């Protein structure tokens, strides 16, 4: 017979303070929304610590306790804030019910090595909480902009109708204005005319530079690499000012070619870095074998080397495209009214004519960026599989 190991319960003086700390943070958020942050911290800490004690010590079933807390906090949230409060209260109820039993039952150590000290366990989770907090801090402005783009009013804030999830508070009129406004459509066309050409130039020159600098016999490789990636290190305003004075001397100031070349210079460092990273795992014996079989250098490049480094090339091209499509500082210096791109139009709209249409455009750009970043991640995984760094 196999002896069953009894479940070890966590001491009260450990899990209650942790739940209280999370409760204090939740109370801070709720209290700030109600106009009393410090009071919310005290009430949240005391309330959630008491609830955790009741759930773990007085409720006989974990399932009943968690569902009961979920329903109770959802109803309390609905009483305070309507439908949004119902959703937020339900989320808090589910989280604190899970957290209380997760700590009380000792499940937080289930997937950790048994020899870790309490300090190491604390750092393990504190590090993840810190990363999550930074992620929320970075992503919150983007998340806030997206629902605001559907505002039925010409406001940059949430209206009472939006907070109540009233359908009359939401509208697509700002998106219709974007697609029907000639200024916005001209800006989109300019961005589409400039970004792909600049990307092609960045990919071509950046790939050749990365392959050349990967050869060990090239002299001053580090110095050349530093010069080539300097556009992404030097402050953009300095690069833009330098391009302005240089282009004005050679007659490219305010021309389409000048803007394309400027954006290509900004995108080349991204291509060099991604292609160089891909070349780290490249087996040079493959090119030597192709040469021994009589293949020319050009044929060897396109038939042997290029298929293996293609994920890095495409990744660099996507980065270069995003850089060109979102860039506004350089185009302000080297472009003219005929090259007004989408970011330039957004900048002009913020400075001269405040319109929520900018929020709709920002939402569309965020969606496009998410699609491109997803493609980058898929290409990264494919590159690792081709180089044997990942089994799947």
For 244-286, write each residue's pLDDT tens digit.
999 888 888 888 899 999 999 999 999 999 888 888 777 777 7
**Average pLDDT over all residues of the chain:** 84
Please state the φ and ψ torsions of residue 170, each to the nearest 5 degrees: -120, 145
Orientation of helix 342-352 relative to helix 306-326, angle to 10°: 20
Average pLDDT over residues 15-20: 88
In a domain, 392, yes or no: no
Say how far apart CA 228 and CA 220 lie, in whole Å: 12
Q: Is the pLDDT of residue 198 over 90?
A: yes
| Shared domain check, 368 and 238 | yes
Domain count, the chain: 2
Categorize the per-residue pLDDT at 201 as very low, low, confident or very high, splitting at 50, 70 and 90: very high
In a domain, 145, yes or no: no
In a domain, 159, yes or no: no
In a domain, 353, yes or no: yes
Among the candidates 111, 130, 164, a domain finishes at: 111
The CB density around residue 211, as the number of other CB atoms within 10 Å, is: 18
Q: Is the pLDDT of residue 199 over 90?
A: yes
| Shared domain check, 192 and 98 | no
Position 12 scores a pLDDT of 76
Q: Is the pLDDT of residue 380 over 80?
A: no
Position 260 scores a pLDDT of 92
| Shared domain check, 358 and 216 | yes
**In degrees to the nearest 10, what's the CA dihedral of 249, 241, 234, 213?**
-20
Range of the domain at 208: 181-386
Among the candidates 56, 81, 111, a domain finishes at: 111
What percent of the chain is modeled with pLDDT above 90?
14
Among the candidates 66, 95, 111, a domain finishes at: 111
Q: Is the pLDDT of residue 14 over 50?
A: yes
Say how far apart CA 26 and CA 96 lie, in whole Å: 10
In a domain, 139, yes or no: no
What percent of the chain is modeled with pLDDT above 70?
95
Categorize the per-residue pLDDT at 9 as very low, low, confident or very high, splitting at 50, 70 and 90: low
For 297-309, write each residue's pLDDT tens digit.
788 878 877 887 8
Q: What is the value of pTM for the model shown?
A: 0.71
Position 388 scores a pLDDT of 60
Q: Is the pLDDT of residue 164 over 90?
A: no
| Shared domain check, 101 and 18 | yes
């Amino acid at each position: 017979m196999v002896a069953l190991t009894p479940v070890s319960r966590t001491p009260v003086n450990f899990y209650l303070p942790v739940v209280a700390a999370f409760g204090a943070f939740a109370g801070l958020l709720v209290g700030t929304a109600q106009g009393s942050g410090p009071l919310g911290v005290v009430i949240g800490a005391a309330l959630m610590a008491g609830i955790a004690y009741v759930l773990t010590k007085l409720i006989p079933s974990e399932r009943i306790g968690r569902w009961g807390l979920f329903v109770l906090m959802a109803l309390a949230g609905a009483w305070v804030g309507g439908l949004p409060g119902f959703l937020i209260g339900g989320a808090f109820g589910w989280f604190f019910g899970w957290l209380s039993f997760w700590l009380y039952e000792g499940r937080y150590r289930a997937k950790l090595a048994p020899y870790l000290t309490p300090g190491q366990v604390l750092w393990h989770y504190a590090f993840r909480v810190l990363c999550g907090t930074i992620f929320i801090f970075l992503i919150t402005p983007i998340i806030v902009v997206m629902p605001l783009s559907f505002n039925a009013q010409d406001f940059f804030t949430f209206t009472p109708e939006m907070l109540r999830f009233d359908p009359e508070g939401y509208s697509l009129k700002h998106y219709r204005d974007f697609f029907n406004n000639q200024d916005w459509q001209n800006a989109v066309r300019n961005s589409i005319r400039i970004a792909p050409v600049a990307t092609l130039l960045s990919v071509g020159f950046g790939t050749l530079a990365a392959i050349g600098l990967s050869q060990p016999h090239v002299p001053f490789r580090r110095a050349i690499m530093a010069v080539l990636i300097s556009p992404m290190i030097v402050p953009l305003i300095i690069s833009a000012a330098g391009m302005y004075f240089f282009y004005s001397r050679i007659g490219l100031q305010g021309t389409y070619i000048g803007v394309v070349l400027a954006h290509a210079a900004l995108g080349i460092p991204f291509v060099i870095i991604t292609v160089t990273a891909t070349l780290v795992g490249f087996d040079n014996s493959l090119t030597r074998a192709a040469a021994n079989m009589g293949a020319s250098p050009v044929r060897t490049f396109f038939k042997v080397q290029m298929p293996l480094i293609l994920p890095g090339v495409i990744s660099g091209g996507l980065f270069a495209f995003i850089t060109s499509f979102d860039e506004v500082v350089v185009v302000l210096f080297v472009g003219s009214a005929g090259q007004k791109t989408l970011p330039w139009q957004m900048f002009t709209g913020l400075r001269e004519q405040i319109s929520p249409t900018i929020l709709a455009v920002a939402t569309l750009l965020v969606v496009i960026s998410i699609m491109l970043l997803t493609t980058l991640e898929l290409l990264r995984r494919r590159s690792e599989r081709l180089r044997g760094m990942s089994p799947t």
